[in-house]
Amino acid sequence: MTDFAATKAMFHLPEGTIYLDGNSLGPLPRAATERVGNMMQHEWGDMLITGWNKAGWMQKSRDLGDRIGRLIGAEPGHVIVGDTLSIKVYQALASALELNPGRKVVLSDNGNFPSDLYIAQGLLTSLGAEYELRVVDPEAVEENITDDIAVLMLTEVDYRTGRKHDMRALTAKAHEMGVLTVWDLAHSAGALPVDLAGCGADFGVGCTYKYLNGGPGAPAFIYVAPRYAEKARPALSGWLGHEAPFAFDLDYRPGRGVERMRVGTPPVLQMTSLEAAMDIWDMADMAEVRAKSMQLCDLFIAEVEAKCPQLELASPRDAAYRGSQVSFKFREGYAAMQALIARGVIGDFRAPDIMRFGFTPLYIDEADVRAATDIIADVMTNALWDNPEYKIRNAVT
């Protein structure tokens, strides 16, 4: 059984703060401070460049890949960590397109994270005018999976509303029509059980700074299904994806399996922080995390709707169709969120009117939910948001 009281004690949570924004940036694992400090002093400081061998820095990408792989249902040895999520989206999409020659259309939805769509637009423009990015409503994805589609590229959980796609059903339909799949797990990994292998997904990508608590700018990961591990050609052919990086061959030869999806030098400081977070995740059962998350989200919805009729639920009401976040609509959502943050309840805002709250049972419990909704009710009932200082937009919302 996952001991959620024990995991909560393993995070640094500022006094007087209820943190409901782990779906944007997870809080600091207490052990990360010492772990990174020791790495800097004893590995980087004392070992200098020999740390790549003595401290196993190069191995971290593979080791962390397998630890994350357990949470996302990947076969061992088929997830690698490094670079940014944008880079991994580009790699996965480019490889999938090349594996499906003769087709020129990428299908996505307008609930996808804009960066994924930007990357697709940029890649397809580079490939030629005959390539097309086709974007439909999330509810219309399945009916638009046709035999002219090359790649289905979706984020499993909508970053705004928390709406959850059915990975198994959509992947099956895609394969029936000869379409490859790229799944973005940015709001899934650490939020809910994922079964990449069981669903037959072709590629998966995700970040580690949200639910996985790796820290600001923590590296991304990429999954390549075993059937494509030796076939996928990485469009970004970095030196660490070479078969023999330290041979310094001037001609690229892809490494074995998912190793070829490495690009640049791994961010060792960030990986060390991520290791501390994964020590906590190693204690967690994802089915239990999911059950607790659904319970917390349902409680939050019930409490907010009972106390704050001004707020309109923007997330699916049925927890089975939702990730680990709850969103409400409010015309002055930005100002209301700033008022909440000023009172110690941290969520975030997404344009045009979404107030977004994330729930991670590793450090959020029922008492936090009830206390947060009391503060939300105070802000809404007494229009505490209607203060000019709360309406000044920060660079990061």
Q: Which two tokens stand for residue 320?
A: 């089975």
Burial bucket for residue 147 (CB in 10 Å: 0-12, 13-18, 19+): exposed
150 by DSSP, 3-state: which? strand
Distances (CA, A) of 65 to 205, 223, 267: 11, 9, 14
Q: What is the rounded CA–CA span in Å between residue 232 and residue 260?
A: 9
Q: What is the rounded CA–CA span in Å between residue 260 and residue 109?
A: 29
| DSSP-assigned letters across all residues of 325-373 | EEEEE-TTHHHHHHHHHHTTEE-EEETTTEEEEE--TTT--HHHHHHHH
Tell me the angle at which helices 366-381 and 286-307 cross, rounded to the nearest 10 degrees: 30
Q: Which two tokens stand for residue 209?
A: 């700074």
Q: Catalytic residue numbers? A: 113, 184, 209-210, 356
Q: What is the rounded CA–CA span in Å between residue 358 and residue 307?
A: 19
Q: Of 142, 110, 136, 106, whose CA–CA distance to 121 is shortest?
A: 106
Burial bucket for residue 173 (CB in 10 Å: 0-12, 13-18, 19+): middle
Q: Of 61, 86, 62, 49, whose CA–CA distance to 217 is shortest?
A: 86
Q: What is the rounded CA–CA span in Å between residue 282 and residue 207?
A: 17
